[in-house]
């Protein structure tokens, strides 16, 4: 089975629509959204929900088939993750903060997709095709458990009398945590996926994910973070105090086993979503690089492709180097999402794409600001905003340092205990 580099027609058509959205609904309000942190662009959210619902693009939620497949026709591999990567790259090109509040499952749905049973997938993912925009979030990071997710202290205890799980703990830096959990009359009923341990003595083997419905008593959004970039996206702190969830809301086995299947479920989520985060970094980098070339062209500076490197100006060499970085990062994303769609293990490729994208987006946006000098540093253009937005790519969903460790372990064959 080989990777095909021709973009599937459904993705081409959807990207054309997304380009219009980025040009007309995101870029014009990008500065306003950045300066008014946590302001909710309802028009954008409702439009994207309608568009995604009508096309089915960019969603992992199951959809009913309108016609029976012809058994005589060859079956093609699904393109769910390829579609998501292409969609998110274009939306991040428009405004990465607004992309993060695009309705849909996000990390919460990805966790259900990776670790949930068929019945749980049908129950929780179908709501994203409902009448109202709906959000989901994943709650993993804790004050003492950032990159080291095995250090999670949140607990889940089974109350046998009521057959409910009682959750206690504190989660921080939850992307879209407020929109996913706090009821809003304009949004559908969302949920958060809380990672907790059912046996603190079992280590990673005791880790499980629990779907917690919006508005569940005992769960409180305690804080919204004020951030360097992606300021329109809400990043929440959430406290759980004796919060009760139904027994069947645990993803995976409800009993402790000798294996680390619970922890592997968490890592499988990241294997699926890290390339998507990488795709958003590519989108931001592409936005900055394209704007730089446009501004340079207005000043009579164009890149003379085809000339020997020593005959190019320093700016020309910088632009070409940035284009190489951008294309290499996108190719790594394509390989990782292709593997995800074809149900191939992609832990190595997933982390490699995340490392590469986090690296190039910070380098490209910094270099763009540097080349434009005072204009790049000023608020007259979005260049400085993209510089601020870029860094998060290297931080969330596993820092660049952690993902480099993952890559090294995969290549060298070391365990986490052997290589830290």
Q: Furthest-apart CA pair in the chain: how many Å?
A: 79
Q: Other CB atoms closer than 10 Å to residue 50's CB: what's the count?
A: 13
The three-point CA angle 348-415-268 to 5° equals 45
How many whole angstroms separate alpha carbon 185 and alpha carbon 177?
Answer: 16
N- to C-terminal Cα separation, the chain:
35
Q: DSSP for 6-56? A: SPPHHHHHHHHHHHHHIIIIIGGGHHHHHHSTT---HHHHHHHHHHHHHH-
The 8-class DSSP code of residue 23 comes to I
- In contact, 45 and 26? CB cutoff 8 Å: no
DSSP 76-122: ----HHHHHHHHHHHHHHHHHHHHTT-SB-HHHHHHHHHH--HHHHH
Catalytic residue list contains 370: no
CA atoms within 13 A on the CB side of 285: 31
Q: Beta 219-224 vs 235-246: how paired, if at all?
A: antiparallel
User: Taking a C-beta distance cutoff of 8 angstroms, is the pair 337, 354 a contact?
Assistant: no
Q: Which strand (E) or helix (H) includes residue 332?
A: helix 314-341
Task: Single out the catalytic residue among 213, 316, 397, 418.
Answer: 397
Alpha-carbon span 2 to 230, nearest angstrom = 36
Residue 20 zone, left/alpha/beta (φ > 0; ψ -120 to 50; rest): alpha
Q: How far apart are CA 136 and CA 100, in angstroms?
A: 11
The torsion angles phi and psi of 223, rounded to 5 degrees, stand at: -165, 145
Would you please indicate which residues are annotated as catalytic (active-site) residues?
A: 397
């Amino acid at each position: 089975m080989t990777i095909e580099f021709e973009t599937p027609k459904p993705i081409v058509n959807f990207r054309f629509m997304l380009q219009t959205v980025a040009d007309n609904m995101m870029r014009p309000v990008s500065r306003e959204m950045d300066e008014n942190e946590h302001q909710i662009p309802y028009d954008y959210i409702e439009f994207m929900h309608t568009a995604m619902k009508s096309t089915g693009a960019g969603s992992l939620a199951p959809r009913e088939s309108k016609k029976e497949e012809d058994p005589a026709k060859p079956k093609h591999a699904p393109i769910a993750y390829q579609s998501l990567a292409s969609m998110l790259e274009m939306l991040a090109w428009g405004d990465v903060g607004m992309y993060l509040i695009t309705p849909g499952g996000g990390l919460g749905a990805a966790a259900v997709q990776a670790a949930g049973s068929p019945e749980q997938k049908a129950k929780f993912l179908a709501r994203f095709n409902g009448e109202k925009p709906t959000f989901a979030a994943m709650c993993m990071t804790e004050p003492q458990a950032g990159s080291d997710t095995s250090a999670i202290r949140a607990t889940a205890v089974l109350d046998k009398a009521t057959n409910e799980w009682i959750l206690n703990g504190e989660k921080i830096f939850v992307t879209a945590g407020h929109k996913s959990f706090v009821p809003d009359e304009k949004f559908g009923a969302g949920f958060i996926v809380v990672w907790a341990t059912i046996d603190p003595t079992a280590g990673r083997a005791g880790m499980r994910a629990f779907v917690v419905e919006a508005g569940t008593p005992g769960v409180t959004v305690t804080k919204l973070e004020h951030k360097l970039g992606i300021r329109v996206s809400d990043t929440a702190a959430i406290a759980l105090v004796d919060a009760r969830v139904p027994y069947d809301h645990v993803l995976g086995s409800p009993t402790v086993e000798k294996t680390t299947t619970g922890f592997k479920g968490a890592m499988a989520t990241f294997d699926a979503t890290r390339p998507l985060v990488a795709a958003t970094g590519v989108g931001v980098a592409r936005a900055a690089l394209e704007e730089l070339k446009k501004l340079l062209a207005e000043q009579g500076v164009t890149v003379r492709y085809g000339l020997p490197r020593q005959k190019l100006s320093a700016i020309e060499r910088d632009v070409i180097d940035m284009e190489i970085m951008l294309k290499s990062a996108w190719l790594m994303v394509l390989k990782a999402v292709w593997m995800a769609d074809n149900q191939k293990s992609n832990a190595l490729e997933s982390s490699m794409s995340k490392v590469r994208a986090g690296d190039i987006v910070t380098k490209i946006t910094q270099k763009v600001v540097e080349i434009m000098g005072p204009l790049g540093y000023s608020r007259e253009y979005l260049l400085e905003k993209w510089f601020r937005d870029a860094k998060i790519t290297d931080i969330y969903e596993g820092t660049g340092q952690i993902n480099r460790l993952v890559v090294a372990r995969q290549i060298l064959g070391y365990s986490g205990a052997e290589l830290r």
